[in-house]
Amino acid sequence: FIPHPVIRFGGQAQDSITHTEIVQLGFIRSLARFFIDVKTQDRNKIDIQNFKNEHTIDELYQLAHPDWTKDKIKLYSYPLKSIIDAIQVRNVLVDLNPSTKNLPSAHFDSESFNESNHRIMRLRMKIIEDVRDSNKNLDSTRGKIGDLLHTLQDFYSHSNWIEMGKTEINPYIGIQENIGRIAEINQATCHTRGCKKVLSNCNIFQAYFFKNCPMEYYDCKENIVDEINKQGILTSGYVSNQFNDKGEPVVKPSNVEKCSHGSVMDKTSHQVPIGGINKDAKTPMFSPHYYLHDQAAKFAIEATERFFNDLRKDIGDTNFDRLFAINPTEEQIQKAAIAIKDHEKFHFLTSTLSIGLKDSQNSKDDVLYAEDPSEIPVTLRQTPKIKYPSNVIFWGRISMKGLILSDGSINFTEWLHNQHRNDKCKRMYITDES
């Protein structure tokens, strides 16, 4: 994705969603869930549906604290906003810092899926370790969150996950070693068919930034080898001037047709197979697959929200609150008051940015997966357990790592045992295999 709005507007990609916006939108959703859960646990009567509607950070604080004045909301939310802004800055720096801007594993580039996933796993473990240390200053930890989120978000704009026809985010990134089947080093992944060259004049900013005018880039459709997508094989584009962790150059192969990242700045896009597959922006100037940008951004926001939600489960509500200063300390409030008085500005955080929660629903016939019953809305926990007709067959994945509740709305174990008692000839299975 484009790192921040300055490049977006200067590069004529005004409708594109940036890394900084994805961070903030994902966190707003997670913050809404935090307020819903905390208020519900405290037995406060709240309008849950209202929390799910589209809100800014300030509006969520107002819902959580209806008796607070606007000035108090501005003061008490300022520490959290400063922290999110710091995470956004660190996220942007992954594209600018010499140590990471040309590092494939920081961006899921050049088919570096294992390396990129390991990077996320290492950062995630270190973040959890840091937060669990009550004596540790968390500024550097928040920086690690920015680093991690940049790489996580790039998976959806740099890989062919969307071209495969996926309708949900990849749940395994940063969690386990295997995130999917990866293209072999000698396996062709792209072809030139479907890519057309575009020549475009430069505005003043583009002439300064890109140097070469007229600009030359590609508009590509269906340029990924069909069997790669059909078989669910992961690939991503090679980019010019990249180096691995050891400082060794990472070059687009010349003996096998591999995809390029593509953009007006990517020299590999002119090498056969021409074009590219990235979805960073809504213009072919930056993204040959620009028409899939909105879907990539949608997945990146969902993955960002999921990271925050999973982190909260791993470290607990108290540490999550401390990490993001949701309920700031007196020292944080005093610093906020001084910053507000001095009219200090955020780097990237936008106070007017808003988003709503998705409904608590999924494609698995409304089954909800949770470790703690309190994570499921009360209205769903109280629904009748008798939901399915007799002789029903559950096809595919029922349980994943034992996360279906034993006392949830639908007790699969009890249901299967009941079927077994009624007919001893019936087979009973619960497995984590698809």
**pLDDT number for residue 134:** 92
Residues 306, 161, single domain; the answer is: yes
Q: Which of 310, 326, 359 is the last residue of a domain?
A: 359
Rounded Cα gap, residues 300 and 298, in angstroms: 5
Kindly state whether residue 366 falls inside one of the protein's structural domains: no
Would 425 be classed as within a structural domain? no
Same domain, 131 and 256: no
Segment (H or E) for 123: helix 113-132
Which pair of tokens denotes residue 104? 């494939």
Give the residue numbers spanning the domain of 89. Answer: 5-173+294-359
Q: Pairing between strand 249-250 and 195-200?
A: unpaired
Return d(Cα 228, Cα 237) in angstroms, integer. Answer: 14
User: Sign of dihedral through CA atoms 418, 419, 422, 425?
Assistant: negative
For residue 365, is it within any domain?
A: no
How many CB atoms are closer than 10 A to CB 78?
Answer: 21
In this structure, are 38 and 91 located in the same domain?
yes
Question: Can you give the pLDDT at residue 201?
Answer: 86
> Is 77 part of any domain?
yes
Say if 190 falls within a structural domain: no
Helix 19-41 and helix 57-64: axis angle, to 10°? Answer: 10
What is the per-residue DSSP string for 316-340?
HHHHHHHHHTSS--HHHHHHHHHHH
HSE-CB of 400 using CA atoms within 13 angstroms:
11
Question: Are 323 and 395 members of one domain?
Answer: no
Tell whether 149 and 39 lie within a shared domain.
Answer: yes
Residue 398: the pLDDT is 36
Euclidean distance between the first and final Cα of the chain, in Å?
A: 33
Domain's final residue, options 291, 326, 350: 291
Residue 155: half-sphere exposure toward Cβ, Cα within 13 Å:
29
Whether residue 309 contacts residue 33, with contact meaning beta carbons closer than 8 Å, is answered with yes
* Number of residues that this document lists for the chain: 434
Distance CA 357, CA 351 (A): 18
The interaxial angle of helices 70-93 and 19-41, nearest 10 deg, is 130
| Residue 240 covered by a domain | yes
Same domain, 220 and 144: no
Give, for all 434 residues of the chain, the pLDDT tens digit: 998 776 655 556 678 999 999 999 999 999 999 999 998 877 777 888 899 999 999 999 999 999 999 999 999 999 999 999 999 999 999 999 999 999 999 999 999 999 999 999 999 999 999 999 999 999 999 999 999 999 999 999 999 999 999 999 999 999 999 999 999 999 999 999 999 999 988 877 777 777 778 899 999 999 999 999 999 999 999 999 999 999 999 999 999 999 999 999 999 999 999 999 999 999 999 999 999 999 999 999 999 999 999 999 999 999 999 999 999 999 999 999 999 999 999 999 999 999 999 754 333 334 444 445 555 554 444 544 443 333 333 333 333 333 334 444 444 445 445 544 444 444 444 444 43
DSSP 8-state symbol, 238: B
Q: Of 270, 291, 312, which residue constitutes the final position of a domain?
A: 291
CB neighbour list of residue 362: distance below 8 Å, 6 or more residues apart: 368
Can you tell me the distance from the alpha carbon of 100 to that of 115, in angstroms, rounded to the nearest whole number?
13
- Asked if 419 contacts 428 with a C-beta cutoff of 8 angstroms, the reply is yes
User: Which pLDDT value is given to residue 218?
Assistant: 97
Spatial separation of the C-alpha atoms in residues 150 and 92, rounded to whole Å: 8
pLDDT of the residue at 386: 40
pLDDT of residue 111: 98
Pairing type for strands 195-200 and 215-220 reads antiparallel
Asked if residue 415 is part of any domain, the answer here is yes
Same domain, 143 and 211: no
Selection from 191, 242, 196 nearest residue 217 by Cα: 196
Please report whether residue 328 resides in a domain. yes
Beta-carbon count within 10 A of 57 CB: 23
Pair 34, 77 in one domain: yes
Do 223 and 106 lie in one domain? The reply is: no
3-state secondary structure (DSSP) of residue 295: helix
284 shares its domain with 343: no
Nearest to 80 by CA among 281, 261, 335: 335
**Total domain count, the chain:** 3
Give the model's pLDDT for residue 39: 85
Statement to judge: residues 134 and 270 lie in one domain: no
Question: Is 303 in the same domain as 392?
Answer: no
